């Protein structure tokens, strides 16, 4: 069955630095991969989607890469701010429209 | 638009009790789904629906029922609550592969 792993449960960085989160998957070739942000006590919020034929996608300070050979996506937040502190979830296309498989998330803490 | 709404926000049940978690969306999305989120387990799919009258099981469907009589509503029923169903439940609707989540229902089963 498909397996998705986010390498770090938690990541602590200093304000202004670039945060890099990793998502790896096995036994699958997803058509797309998504990243969501979740704040405590709230539902996940969609950030970015990248398709299998795209290497990189950017949105403001966010950048996502997708390497289908390595079966890995990297999620970068440049010039990080304390407000970026949250849990970030990686999600793969689950094979049918709207069906997603989520990773367990990485909790990012940005210290001032 | 209110987006995806869920009620109640918090519920305490005794083992064996039944209840319905409500979910509604006003975005006219065809696809809706229910997840549970537990510490260390991530989000796991319980049931989903691709449109009114059509539902299917996800990864962890046991102990839960769903129905979809309208596009807007997708209630989740716990028939006989068990402590293992203590969790945070999220409803989501999907449009063009993007999922829109509700605020969640925190359920405690004693």
Task: Tell me how many residue pairs between chain A and chain B have CB atoms under 8 A apart.
Answer: 58
User: Is the pLDDT score of A98 beyond 70?
Assistant: no
Please state the rounded mean pLDDT for residues A32-42.
96
Of residues A91, A67, A80, A105, the one with CA closest to residue A2: A91
Q: Within its chain, how far is the Cα of A20 from the centroid? A: 9
Q: Do A44 and B90 touch (CB under 8 A)?
A: yes
Q: Do B90 and A43 touch (CB under 8 A)?
A: yes
Q: How far is residue A42's CA from residue A40's CA, in Å, rounded to a whole number?
A: 6
Render the burial of A90-105: b for 16+ CB within 10 Å, e for the rest.
bbbbbeeebbbbbbbb
Query: pLDDT, tens digit, for every residue of B33-92?
Result: 999 999 888 899 999 999 999 999 999 999 999 999 999 999 999 999 999 999 999 999
How many CB atoms sit inside 10 A of residue A75's CB? 24
Chain B contact for A43 (CB, 8 A cutoff): yes
Q: Do A43 and B102 touch (CB under 8 A)?
A: yes
């Amino acid at each position: 069955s498909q397996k998705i792993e986010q390498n770090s449960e938690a990541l602590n960085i200093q304000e202004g630095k670039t945060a890099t989160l990793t998502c790896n998957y096995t036994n699958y070739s997803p058509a797309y991969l998504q990243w969501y942000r979740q704040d405590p006590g709230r539902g996940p919020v969609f950030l970015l989607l990248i398709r299998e034929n795209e290497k990189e996608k950017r949105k403001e300070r966010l950048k996502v890469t997708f390497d289908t050979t390595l079966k890995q996506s990297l999620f970068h937040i440049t010039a990080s701010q304390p407000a970026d502190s949250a849990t970030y979830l990686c999600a793969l296309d689950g094979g049918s429209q709207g069906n997603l498989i989520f990773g367990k998330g990485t909790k990012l803490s940005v210290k001032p | 638009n209110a987006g995806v709404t869920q009620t109640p926000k918090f519920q305490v049940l005794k083992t064996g009790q039944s209840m319905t978690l409500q979910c509604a969306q006003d975005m006219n999305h065809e696809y809706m789904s229910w997840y549970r989120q537990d510490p260390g387990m991530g989000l796991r799919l319980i049931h989903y629906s691709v449109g009114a009258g059509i539902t299917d099981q996800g990864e962890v469907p046991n102990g839960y029922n769903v129905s979809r009589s309208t596009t807007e509503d997708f209630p989740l029923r716990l028939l006989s609550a068990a402590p293992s169903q203590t969790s945070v439940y999220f409803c989501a609707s999907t449009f063009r592969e993007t999922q829109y989540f509700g605020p969640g229902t925190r359920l405690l089963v004693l």
